[in-house]
Amino acid sequence: MEHTLPLGAPVGPIYRPRDPRAAAYFGVVREHANTFFDVLLDSGVELPKHVRRRFVAYLGYGDLSRGFLRTRCPDCTHERLVPFCCKARAVCPSCTAKRSAAQTAHLIDAVLPDVPIRQWVLTLPFAIRGVYSVTPKLHGPVNRMFVEEIARHYGHDGKARHSGAVSFLQRFGAALNLHVHSHVLAFDGAYVERGDDLVFEPAPPPTPDEILEVSSRVAERVASYFIREGVIDAEGLIQDDGSAPLGQGPRPKSGWLLADGSVVESSPRVGSLPTSVAEYRGFSVHAGVAISGHDADGRERVVRYVSRPPFAEQQVQLCRDGRVAFRLTHPRPSGETHLFLHPLTFLRRVTSQIPPLGMNLVRYHGILAPAAKRRREVVRTAPPPHSPSAEGAGPTYLPNSSWAALLKRIFDVDALKCPDCGAQMRILAAIEDRDVIDRILTHLGIDAAPVEPAPSRAGDLFTPSYADTG
């Protein structure tokens, strides 16, 4: 039911829905998901049920046979069927990106005031990073200790001086490896009580010594906590049962992916990691990104960065030898642009990005905490969409913003704009009944067969075509 755009009809940028089933990532999930589950089960690892459900749900992404919205242009009667999203958090790059965009819109439009913001980042020592990443009960307390030390730096006392922050627990590294670490967007200063009013006092940039003090305090507190929890002993040795983190596995080879799908692998590179702004006993704290109170675009960019999804669909390609080529966001210092992983190793890393059910990855602290008495005095209040103060400012975006509104915000593309005449299309109905779905798709000549994952090939794992090449 798509029509050709008439010549001379300037309707602006047009939204063209893409077919996720044509992507290499979709093919990897479809071909190898069942094999991945069976291999883990044979090795004694049974994944939670919600993990398998998310992979199955992702295979329904873009599948009209699972239901859709029927939209129509009131002017030219052009119609479009919009499939439902799969909501497979962490597994589906598109749905995870939507979640990130909605979170960003909420923070920018309804939370963060126009005051300076500084990003603080905490990473743990390599020796305990793996154990920490696979032990969810440790994440909240460590994140809280980090935020408390940042608040201490700004002089927060909860009475006369009030700091505020939003923390983000990121689970991924640049290589899609499991690496839990904290990003904190903190007010670069504090609200001070002046009579009945709150006045913001900006703070000077932290010195290297001040950042080192934050790092050392966090290190001492976390070490004491880990000793109490039995993660390390009094000598600092890790008390590990020998199990490997799900998201790790063999170190992937890196190099370059050529246009014909062949690869050029690089030699191992030996060297040290870049130094952080401050590091104490392996606890690294970075505080080099600051946004002024008047830089609205910069504030939105940094929020998008800290809430971004683990990977994008376009980063996944296939090599001629069957391996997955994962394109790095930034080339490595020696120039490598891709990592090469066996499909099961790749799915293992994707699975590691799925957080436990009920875990909040975004948390509010200080005067931004939900129970803070004076929170309403500092958070931004977005005007109603049709109020005089909102005229010319665009639509209001809330956490449940539609995907069309989020696309308009990020890419300046209106997904509900008619491609024929430019009018705003209307949603006629949500089609969920199976019989109705079949009748509509059959009438339109669209294949209504749902996408099913390929059968397991766990028994063929050790043939040369399915050997684990890392």
Do 226 and 146 reside in the same domain of the chain? Answer: yes
Q: Is residue 243 part of a domain?
A: yes
**Domain co-membership, 363 together with 405:** no
Asked, for residue 152, whether it belongs to a domain, the answer is yes
Give 368's contacts (C-beta < 8 A, 6+ positions apart).
111, 164, 165, 166, 375, 378, 379
Same domain for 219 and 70: no
Distance, CA of 169 to CA of 183 (rounded, Å): 6
Cα–Cα dist 8/420, whole Å? 11
To the nearest whole percent, how much of the chain has pLDDT over 70? Answer: 77
Q: Which of 178, 167, 90, 182 is nearest to 129 (CA)?
A: 178
pLDDT on residue 386? 41
Burial class (CB in 10 A: 0-12, 13-18, 19+), 429: exposed
Do 79 and 170 fall into the same domain?
no
Question: Quick one: 182 and 246 in the same domain?
Answer: yes
195 and 149 part of one domain:
yes
264 has a pLDDT exceeding 60:
no
Helix (H) or strand (E) holding 286: strand 283-291
- Please state, in angstroms and rounded to a whole number, the distance separating the CA atoms of residues 463 and 457: 11
Name the band, by pLDDT with cuts 50, 70 and 90, for residue 7: very low
What share of residues in the chain are helix, strand, coil (percent, to 5)?
35, 20, 45
* Residues 84 and 188 both lie in one domain: no
Task: Note whether residue 131 is domain-resident.
Answer: yes
Region at 155 (left for phi over 0; alpha for psi -120 to 50; beta for the rest): left
Provide the β-strand partners of residue 161: 192
Residues 111-124 pLDDT 10s? 999 999 999 999 99
**Which of the given ranges, 221-235, 243-257, 356-370, has the highest pLDDT on average?**
356-370
Q: What is the pLDDT of residue 403?
A: 60
Instruction: Report residue 318's pLDDT band, with 50, 70 and 90 as the boundaries.
Output: very high
Q: Do 75 and 186 lie in a common domain? A: no
Residue 337 in any domain: the answer is: no
pLDDT, tens only, 385-397: 444 433 333 334 4
Q: How many CB atoms lie within 10 A of CB 419?
A: 19
Question: Are 301 and 369 found together in one domain?
Answer: yes
pLDDT at 377 over 60: yes
* Mean pLDDT for the stretch of residues 406-429: 74
Q: What is the spatial order of strands in the sheet that 324-327 belongs to?
A: 263-265, 253-257, 338-341, 324-327, 316-318
Task: List pLDDT tens digits, range 272-289.
Answer: 433 336 888 889 999 989
Average pLDDT of 199-223?
94
Task: Work out the average pLDDT over 449-467.
Answer: 67
Do 179 and 138 have their domain in common?
yes
Q: Is the residue at 268 inside a domain?
A: no
Tell me which residue range forms the domain holding 237: 112-250+274-314+348-377
Q: Higher confidence at residue 94 or residue 303?
A: 303
Q: Is residue 282 part of a domain?
A: yes
User: Does residue 245 have a pLDDT over 50?
Assistant: no
**Domain co-membership, 199 together with 278:** yes
The pLDDT value given to residue 448:
66
Query: To which H or E segment does residue 94 belong?
Result: helix 93-110
Give the bridge partners for 235, in sequence order.
none
Q: Does residue 260 fall inside a structural domain?
A: no
Asked whether residue 294 is domain-assigned, the answer is: yes
Global pTM value: 0.81
pLDDT of residue 281: 87
| pLDDT at residue 290 tops 90 | yes
Work out the pLDDT band at 259, boundaries 50, 70, 90: low
Distance of alpha carbon 230 from alpha carbon 132, whole angstroms: 12
Domain count, the chain: 2
Same domain, 309 and 191: yes
Please, are residues 13 and 42 in contact by the beta-carbon 8 Å criterion?
no
